[in-house]
């Protein structure tokens, strides 16, 4: 659970996570919060809760990477520290992992008839656009690449190295899972989005970065980088001659 200045919701979301019978441990990675987030987590008396503190604010992606490094359970799921995603959905998210059908499961906000808070139209357009571009470069047919709820067998996370510090972690994870040929499932989830006034942090710059990450980390990314470098290599070869 990456967390940055979430003192208004952190206790409530932790209580919901701990209520789930599927929770074996909860790693809360505090990304150098300036409010009381870390203190509230530290005050929770439950052996399953572990607070990991980042010395500097580095972003959601960096916090997720740290959580993956510290995780010890067979299955790992990303949980935001706000109340947008409901831990009551763990059962359907984890089911394909538990029964051996999947290596990775995405919780889709669009592939569902469950309750959704109605908010920003252009956010939904942006999400669908980024998912479509991601699918084009990964050859997947996901409906919600940008979802927080991604669950993994722990060995999947050990098979690649993550680099993104902010919200680019979502397309990077998707691309590297696709490159690894892992079995991916998608299930519908509920969603209660929040407004910017309520603390939503993602912005249009993150959308631009997401497109960059799709291009760089997708299965064709290495070939794109090689092709970009080829003209320079030919120029250097001619110059040396």
Give the model's pLDDT for residue 221. 59
In a domain, 26, yes or no: no
In a domain, 179, yes or no: yes
Better-predicted residue by pLDDT, 30 or 115: 30
Over residues 143-171, the pLDDT tens digits come to: 999 999 999 999 999 999 999 999 899 99
In a domain, 232, yes or no: yes
Give the model's pLDDT for residue 234. 46
Q: Write the secondary structure of the chain as one string of H (helix), E (strand) and C (coil).
A: CEECCCCCCHHHHHHHHHHCCCCCCEEEEECCCCCCHHHHHHCCCCCCEEEEECCCCCCHHHHHHHHHHHCCCCEEECCCCCCCCCHHHHHHHHHHHHCCCCCEEEEECCCCCCCECCCCHHHHHHHHHHHHHHHHHHCCCCCCCCCCCEEEEHHHHCCCCCCCCCCCHHHHHHHHHHHCCCCEEEEECCECCCCCCCCCCCCHHHHHHHHHHHHHHCCCHHHHHHHHHHHHHHHHHHHHC
Domain enclosing residue 186, as ranges: 64-240
Check if the beta carbon of residue 184 is closer than 8 Å to that of residue 104.
yes
Over residues 27-49, the pLDDT tens digits come to: 999 999 999 999 999 999 999 99
Better-predicted residue by pLDDT, 214 or 206: 214
In a domain, 13, yes or no: no
In a domain, 211, yes or no: yes
pLDDT band at 224 (very low <50, low <70, confident <90, very high): low
In a domain, 51, yes or no: no
pLDDT band at 77 (very low <50, low <70, confident <90, very high): very high
Q: Is the pLDDT of residue 226 over 50?
A: no
In a domain, 43, yes or no: no
CATH of residue 178's domain is 3.90.550.10
Lowest mean pLDDT, pick from 71-80, 93-102, 176-185, 193-202: 193-202
Over residues 43-74, the pLDDT tens digits come to: 999 999 999 999 999 999 999 999 999 999 99
Number of domains comprising the chain: 1
């Amino acid at each position: 659970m990456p967390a940055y200045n979430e003192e208004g919701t952190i206790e409530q979301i932790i209580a919901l996570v701990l209520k789930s019978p599927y929770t074996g441990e909860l790693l809360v990675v505090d990304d150098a919060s300036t409010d009381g987030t870390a203190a509230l987590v530290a005050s929770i008396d439950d052996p399953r809760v572990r607070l990991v503190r980042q010395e500097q604010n580095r972003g959601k992606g960096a916090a997720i990477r740290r959580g993956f490094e510290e995780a010890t359970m067979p299955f790992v799921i990303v949980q935001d520290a706000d109340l947008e995603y409901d831990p009551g959905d763990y059962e359907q998210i984890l089911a394909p992992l538990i029964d051996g059908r999947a290596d990775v499961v995405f919780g889709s906000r669009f592939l569902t008839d469950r309750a959704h808070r109605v908010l920003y139209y252009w956010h939904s357009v942006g999400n669908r656009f980024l998912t479509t571009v991601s699918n084009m470069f990964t050859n997947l047919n996901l409906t919600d690449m940008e979802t927080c709820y991604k669950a993994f067998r722990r060995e999947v996370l050990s098979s690649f190295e993550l680099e993104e510090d902010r919200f680019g972690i979502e397309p990077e994870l998707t691309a590297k899972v696709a490159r690894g040929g892992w079995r991916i499932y998608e299930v519908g989830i509920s969603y209660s989005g929040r407004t910017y006034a309520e603390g939503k942090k993602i912005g249009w710059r993150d959308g631009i970065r997401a497109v960059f990450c799709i291009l760089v980390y997708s299965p064709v990314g290495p070939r794109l980088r090689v092709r970009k470098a080829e003209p320079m290599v030919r120029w250097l070869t001619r110059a040396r001659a």
